Structure 1
Amino acid sequence: MAKRNNENLSIADALKEFVETNKLEKGLDKVHVAEAWANLMGNGVNNYTTAIQLERDTLYVQLSSSVLREELSYGKEKIIKMLNENLGKDLIKKLILR
Protein backbone atom coordinates (compact mmCIF):
# COMPACT_ATOMS: atom_id res chain seq x y z
CA MET A 1 0.00 0.00 0.00
CA ALA A 2 1.22 3.50 -0.76
CA LYS A 3 2.43 5.59 2.10
CA ARG A 4 0.10 8.27 3.33
CA ASN A 5 0.63 11.77 2.05
CA ASN A 6 -0.42 14.75 4.15
CA GLU A 7 -1.20 16.84 1.08
CA ASN A 8 -4.64 16.95 -0.49
CA LEU A 9 -5.08 14.77 -3.58
CA SER A 10 -7.96 14.62 -5.98
CA ILE A 11 -9.73 11.27 -6.36
CA ALA A 12 -8.34 10.93 -9.91
CA ASP A 13 -4.77 11.44 -8.71
CA ALA A 14 -5.24 9.03 -5.82
CA LEU A 15 -6.63 6.32 -8.14
CA LYS A 16 -3.84 6.88 -10.66
CA GLU A 17 -1.24 6.53 -7.89
CA PHE A 18 -2.97 3.36 -6.62
CA VAL A 19 -2.96 1.80 -10.11
CA GLU A 20 0.73 2.61 -10.61
CA THR A 21 1.76 1.42 -7.15
CA ASN A 22 -0.03 -1.93 -7.49
CA LYS A 23 0.94 -2.45 -11.17
CA LEU A 24 -2.66 -2.78 -12.35
CA GLU A 25 -2.21 -0.91 -15.64
CA LYS A 26 -1.94 -4.03 -17.85
CA GLY A 27 -5.19 -5.45 -16.52
CA LEU A 28 -6.99 -2.16 -17.00
CA ASP A 29 -5.63 -1.93 -20.56
CA LYS A 30 -7.21 -5.31 -21.34
CA VAL A 31 -10.58 -4.10 -20.08
CA HIS A 32 -10.29 -0.80 -21.97
CA VAL A 33 -9.41 -2.60 -25.22
CA ALA A 34 -12.51 -4.81 -24.96
CA GLU A 35 -14.68 -1.74 -24.29
CA ALA A 36 -13.11 0.17 -27.19
CA TRP A 37 -13.74 -2.78 -29.56
CA ALA A 38 -17.40 -2.93 -28.51
CA ASN A 39 -17.88 0.83 -28.91
CA LEU A 40 -16.09 1.23 -32.23
CA MET A 41 -17.29 -1.89 -34.03
CA GLY A 42 -20.96 -1.62 -33.16
CA ASN A 43 -23.63 -4.27 -32.66
CA GLY A 44 -23.19 -5.92 -36.05
CA VAL A 45 -19.61 -7.00 -35.35
CA ASN A 46 -20.13 -7.50 -31.60
CA ASN A 47 -22.82 -10.11 -32.24
CA TYR A 48 -20.19 -12.27 -33.99
CA THR A 49 -17.32 -11.51 -31.57
CA THR A 50 -16.81 -14.42 -29.18
CA ALA A 51 -13.52 -13.46 -27.47
CA ILE A 52 -11.11 -10.52 -27.23
CA GLN A 53 -7.66 -10.99 -25.76
CA LEU A 54 -4.72 -8.57 -25.48
CA GLU A 55 -1.27 -10.12 -25.11
CA ARG A 56 1.67 -7.72 -25.10
CA ASP A 57 1.04 -5.55 -28.17
CA THR A 58 -1.12 -8.03 -30.11
CA LEU A 59 -4.91 -8.06 -30.05
CA TYR A 60 -6.55 -11.44 -30.70
CA VAL A 61 -10.21 -11.28 -31.73
CA GLN A 62 -12.21 -14.46 -32.18
CA LEU A 63 -15.15 -14.21 -34.55
CA SER A 64 -17.88 -16.76 -35.22
CA SER A 65 -18.33 -15.64 -38.85
CA SER A 66 -15.67 -16.47 -41.42
CA VAL A 67 -17.19 -13.96 -43.85
CA LEU A 68 -16.93 -11.14 -41.31
CA ARG A 69 -13.38 -12.20 -40.43
CA GLU A 70 -12.39 -11.91 -44.10
CA GLU A 71 -14.06 -8.50 -44.45
CA LEU A 72 -12.35 -7.12 -41.33
CA SER A 73 -8.97 -8.48 -42.42
CA TYR A 74 -8.93 -5.95 -45.28
CA GLY A 75 -9.05 -3.04 -42.82
CA LYS A 76 -6.72 -4.25 -40.05
CA GLU A 77 -4.49 -1.15 -40.13
CA LYS A 78 -7.48 1.19 -39.89
CA ILE A 79 -8.97 -0.83 -37.02
CA ILE A 80 -5.66 -0.72 -35.11
CA LYS A 81 -5.40 3.03 -35.66
CA MET A 82 -8.98 3.63 -34.50
CA LEU A 83 -8.54 1.49 -31.37
CA ASN A 84 -5.27 3.20 -30.42
CA GLU A 85 -6.83 6.64 -30.90
CA ASN A 86 -9.77 5.62 -28.73
CA LEU A 87 -7.43 4.30 -26.02
CA GLY A 88 -5.22 7.39 -26.16
CA LYS A 89 -1.97 5.44 -26.53
CA ASP A 90 -0.23 3.08 -28.95
CA LEU A 91 -1.16 -0.13 -27.19
CA ILE A 92 -1.93 -2.36 -30.19
CA LYS A 93 0.64 -3.05 -32.91
CA LYS A 94 -0.86 -6.18 -34.44
CA LEU A 95 -4.40 -7.50 -34.90
CA ILE A 96 -5.09 -11.21 -35.36
CA LEU A 97 -8.59 -12.27 -36.34
CA ARG A 98 -9.49 -15.90 -35.63
Structure 2
Amino acid sequence: MAKRQNEFHSIEDLMKDVIKENKLTKGMHQLSVTEAWGKLMGQGVVSYTNKIELQRTTLIVGLKSSVLREELSYGKEKIIKMMNEELGEKLISKLILC
Protein backbone atom coordinates (compact mmCIF):
# COMPACT_ATOMS: atom_id res chain seq x y z
CA MET A 1 0.00 0.00 0.00
CA ALA A 2 1.31 3.46 -0.94
CA LYS A 3 2.25 5.79 1.85
CA ARG A 4 0.32 9.07 2.01
CA GLN A 5 2.23 12.27 2.05
CA ASN A 6 0.98 14.74 4.62
CA GLU A 7 2.37 17.82 2.94
CA PHE A 8 -0.17 20.53 2.28
CA HIS A 9 -0.02 22.70 -0.82
CA SER A 10 -2.23 25.58 -1.83
CA ILE A 11 -4.49 25.11 -4.82
CA GLU A 12 -2.79 28.08 -6.50
CA ASP A 13 0.61 26.36 -6.28
CA LEU A 14 -0.83 23.08 -7.53
CA MET A 15 -2.49 24.80 -10.49
CA LYS A 16 0.76 26.56 -11.40
CA ASP A 17 2.54 23.20 -11.35
CA VAL A 18 -0.13 21.57 -13.54
CA ILE A 19 -0.01 24.45 -16.03
CA LYS A 20 3.78 24.33 -16.18
CA GLU A 21 4.01 20.53 -16.49
CA ASN A 22 1.41 20.40 -19.26
CA LYS A 23 2.92 23.37 -21.14
CA LEU A 24 -0.27 25.42 -20.92
CA THR A 25 1.40 28.71 -20.01
CA LYS A 26 1.07 30.21 -23.50
CA GLY A 27 -2.65 29.47 -23.64
CA MET A 28 -3.23 30.80 -20.14
CA HIS A 29 -1.39 34.02 -21.03
CA GLN A 30 -3.59 34.37 -24.14
CA LEU A 31 -6.73 34.03 -22.02
CA SER A 32 -5.42 36.49 -19.46
CA VAL A 33 -4.59 39.06 -22.12
CA THR A 34 -8.04 38.73 -23.71
CA GLU A 35 -9.75 39.20 -20.34
CA ALA A 36 -7.53 42.17 -19.44
CA TRP A 37 -8.25 43.85 -22.80
CA GLY A 38 -11.98 43.57 -22.23
CA LYS A 39 -11.75 44.84 -18.67
CA LEU A 40 -9.49 47.82 -19.41
CA MET A 41 -10.87 48.94 -22.77
CA GLY A 42 -14.56 48.59 -21.99
CA GLN A 43 -17.46 47.30 -24.05
CA GLY A 44 -17.24 50.12 -26.61
CA VAL A 45 -13.74 49.19 -27.76
CA VAL A 46 -14.30 45.45 -27.36
CA SER A 47 -17.28 45.61 -29.74
CA TYR A 48 -14.92 46.90 -32.47
CA THR A 49 -12.21 44.31 -31.73
CA ASN A 50 -11.76 41.44 -34.23
CA LYS A 51 -8.89 39.55 -32.65
CA ILE A 52 -6.51 39.69 -29.74
CA GLU A 53 -3.36 37.65 -30.13
CA LEU A 54 -0.22 37.44 -28.03
CA GLN A 55 2.88 36.43 -29.98
CA ARG A 56 5.81 36.21 -27.59
CA THR A 57 5.86 39.74 -26.14
CA THR A 58 3.87 41.42 -28.92
CA LEU A 59 0.15 42.03 -28.53
CA ILE A 60 -1.66 42.13 -31.88
CA VAL A 61 -5.13 43.65 -31.80
CA GLY A 62 -7.37 43.65 -34.87
CA LEU A 63 -9.89 46.50 -34.97
CA LYS A 64 -12.89 47.02 -37.27
CA SER A 65 -12.69 50.82 -37.08
CA SER A 66 -9.82 52.80 -38.60
CA VAL A 67 -10.81 55.83 -36.51
CA LEU A 68 -10.57 53.82 -33.29
CA ARG A 69 -7.25 52.34 -34.43
CA GLU A 70 -5.88 55.86 -34.94
CA GLU A 71 -7.14 57.04 -31.54
CA LEU A 72 -5.65 54.04 -29.71
CA SER A 73 -2.33 54.40 -31.54
CA TYR A 74 -1.68 57.66 -29.68
CA GLY A 75 -1.77 55.84 -26.34
CA LYS A 76 0.12 52.63 -27.15
CA GLU A 77 2.65 53.01 -24.34
CA LYS A 78 -0.09 53.71 -21.80
CA ILE A 79 -2.08 50.69 -23.00
CA ILE A 80 0.99 48.45 -22.69
CA LYS A 81 1.66 49.73 -19.19
CA MET A 82 -1.97 49.27 -18.10
CA MET A 83 -2.15 45.77 -19.57
CA ASN A 84 1.06 44.66 -17.86
CA GLU A 85 -0.16 46.06 -14.53
CA GLU A 86 -3.48 44.25 -14.92
CA LEU A 87 -1.70 40.99 -15.80
CA GLY A 88 0.70 41.31 -12.88
CA GLU A 89 3.77 40.65 -14.99
CA LYS A 90 5.55 42.14 -18.01
CA LEU A 91 4.09 40.02 -20.79
CA ILE A 92 3.70 42.78 -23.38
CA SER A 93 6.48 44.96 -24.72
CA LYS A 94 4.99 45.94 -28.11
CA LEU A 95 1.45 46.66 -29.34
CA ILE A 96 0.37 46.34 -32.96
CA LEU A 97 -3.04 47.69 -33.93
CA CYS A 98 -4.28 46.39 -37.27
Q: State the TM-score, normalizing by the size of structure 1.
A: 0.91
Aligned to 2:47: 47
Q: What is the CA–CA distance in structure 2 between the aligned matches of 1:50 and 1:30, rounded to whole Å?
A: 15
Q: Residue by residue, what CA displacement relative to the aligned partner does 1:22-74 show, whole Å, maximum 9, x if unpaired?
A: 12111100100000000000011011001101001000000000000000000
Q: What is the CA–CA distance in structure 2 between the aligned matches of 1:13 and 1:78, rounded to whole Å?
A: 31
Aligned to 1:70: 70
Q: What is the CA–CA distance in structure 1 between the aligned matches of 2:16 and 2:70, rounded to whole Å?
A: 39
Q: What is the CA–CA distance in structure 2 between the aligned matches of 1:23 and 1:38, rounded to whole Å?
A: 25
Q: Could you list the runs of 5+ residues in structure 1 that have no partner in the other structure?
A: none
Q: Could you list the runs of 5+ residues in structure 2 that have no partner in the other structure?
A: none
RMSD of Structure 2 on Structure 1 (CA)? 1.1
Q: Residue by residue, what CA displacement relative to the aligned partner does 1:2-25 show, whole Å, maximum 9, x if unpaired?
A: xxx822222222111111111211
Q: What is the CA–CA distance in structure 2 between the aligned matches of 1:83 and 1:91, rounded to whole Å?
A: 9
Q: How many residues align?
A: 94
Q: Does residue 85 of structure 1 match 2:85? A: yes
Higher-Rg member (1/2)? 2
**Structure 1: 4+ residue segments shifted above 2 A:** none
- Code of the residue aligned with 1:16 in structure 2: it is K
Q: What is the CA–CA distance in structure 2 between the aligned matches of 1:52 and 1:73, rounded to whole Å?
A: 15
Q: Does residue 24 of structure 1 match 2:24? A: yes
- Code of the residue aligned with 2:63 in structure 1: it is L
